[in-house]
């Protein structure tokens, strides 16, 4: 039998790398050993809990960085000393960032278009 894997170590590697194959390579164990560990009582429940905490932390960091970046771009758009190209490029990045955010989060700006309109 291979060396034991702690649940905490396994879920942390799975959260960081996402696949059993990568986790096996990093932990230097077989994929079968990982699948076996994942089948133990309460592992998936604990993993889901930790994944939720991880995603929440990432979301907070993402929002903080996005707000900072948007603030910088907004300052460029308003900077009358910046070139027209710079101001337009900053405005375009803001619009693309907002569109991407809404696309990724399933949100809409205003009312969604209804079928037949």
Single out the residue of 97, 95, 91 nearest to residue 74, CA to CA. Answer: 91
Give the tens place of pLDDT for each residue, 17-35: 878 899 899 999 999 988 8
What are the counts of helices (DSSP H) followed by strands (DSSP E) for the chain?
5, 0
Residue ranges of domains in the chain: 1-40, 48-105
pTM above 0.85, yes or no: no
pLDDT in tens, 49-76: 888 888 888 878 877 887 888 889 989 9
Q: Residue 106: is it exposed, middle or buried by C-beta count within 10 angstroms (0-12/13-18/19+)? A: exposed
Whether 2 has a pLDDT exceeding 70, the answer reads: no
Q: How far apart are CA 94 and CA 67, in angstroms?
A: 11
Distance separating alpha carbons of residues 21 and 31, to the nearest angstrom: 6
Can you give the pLDDT at residue 69? 86
Q: Is a pLDDT exceeding 80 seen at residue 110?
A: no
């Amino acid at each position: 039998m291979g060396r034991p894997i702690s649940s905490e170590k396994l879920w942390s590697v799975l959260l960081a790398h996402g696949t059993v194959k990568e986790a096996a390579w990093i932990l230097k164990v077989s994929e079968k050993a990982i699948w076996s560990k994942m089948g133990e009582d309460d592992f998936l429940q604990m993993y889901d809990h930790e994944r939720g905490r991880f995603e929440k932390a990432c979301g907070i960091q993402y929002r903080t960085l996005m707000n900072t970046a948007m603030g910088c771009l907004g300052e460029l758009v308003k900077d009358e000393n910046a070139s027209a190209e710079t101001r337009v490029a900053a405005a375009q990045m803001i619009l693309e960032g907002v569109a991407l955010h809404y696309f990724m989060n399933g949100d809409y700006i205003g009312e969604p278009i209804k079928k037949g309109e």
